Amino acid sequence: MASLKEIKGRIGSVKSTLKITSAMKMVSSAKLHKAQQAIGSMLPYQRQLSAMLNDLLADYASKLAEGKVEPVSLGGFSENRPEVRNVAVLAFASNSSLCGAFNANAARKTLETVREIEVSGASVTVFAAGKKMSEALRKNGIPISGDYHSLVEKPSYSGAAELASMLMEGFLDGRFDRVELVYNHFASTASQPPVREVFLPAVLPAAAPGSSGNPLYIVEPSLPELLLELLPKVLKLKVYTALLDTVAAEHAARTVAMQTATDNGNDILRDLTLEYNKGRQQRITSEILDIVGGSMV
């Protein structure tokens, strides 16, 4: 059994740790609230822009079938290559730890993605956003073609758009036949599942049978030109959405992890306090017995 001095020292250590975990939980909770506000402010714009693109694409498909517009390739962003030889993977994680299994789940999903692509016979080019992702990939012998950890530290649309443009240019000039994203999705404070989705080629909606287009839009100078301008914006916004999703998921995971650590610390503190009080009681009882026994001699 540990001495009272040792138990008292452990109690002091646990109390110090609890101060740290409680503070980290409060900070992560505040950052999560800010990240949720950022997503909440961006989502209406993203949804409206995507809905507008879908309506215009349906209108374009309808007019194309009627021979009212000339066919365009939409910049090649929707081109499905007959043979996929080179795949780019953009993987997101955090720059720091103490967020439970957040980084481990993202890294595991990325490694599964890379192995699956390699098994198919294609080569993989990996871009990492987050120091923990870079560390995990290098540890597993996977070279990194670009590290964008500053984006995770300070998320910005301009940075995400620049990264998206680089991937889009690589797809258009043939360096990549497919581009995929891997990140943790912020489903809720308690759930941040890793997801994998195709970024390029872009999946475009088809016109519904008998559709005559959407009469709500007056398009100038022409429908194809507007689509060529709008589609890259939607793609850039998709990368920015994945970035914000990752940041919100990270703070949610850290909030839960620090709450769990605090709860466990309180349980340990309660057990140590009980053990200390029992030991102290035993010592007092032993001393009383010694005194009584000595007086009877």
Task: Tell whether domain 35-254 is in CATH 3.40.1380.10.
Answer: yes
Note the pLDDT tens digit of each residue in 109-148: 999 999 999 999 999 999 999 999 999 999 999 999 988 9
Fold identical between 4-19+257-295 and 35-254? no
Query: Are 294 and 288 within 8 A, CB to CB?
Result: no
Distance CA 192, CA 245 (A): 9
Q: Domain segments of the chain: what residues?
A: 4-19+257-295, 35-254
Fold type of domain 4-19+257-295? Helix Hairpins (1.10.287)
Note the pLDDT tens digit of each residue in 195-214: 999 999 987 655 444 455 55
pLDDT band at 216 (very low <50, low <70, confident <90, very high): low
Segment of 71-75, 150-154, 219-223, 280-284 carrying the highest mean pLDDT:
150-154
Q: Residue 143: its pLDDT value, please? A: 93
Distance CA 201, CA 189 (A): 32
Q: CA 74: distance to chain centroid?
A: 29
pLDDT band at 294 (very low <50, low <70, confident <90, very high): low
List helix spans (H) across the chain.
4-65, 102-119, 131-139, 149-153, 157-172, 223-295
Q: Which has the closest alpha carbon to 231: 70, 71, 81, 74? A: 74
CA dihedral of residues 258, 263, 269, 270 (deg, nearest 10): 170
- DSSP assignment letter at 74: G
Note the pLDDT tens digit of each residue in 137-157: 999 999 999 889 999 988 999
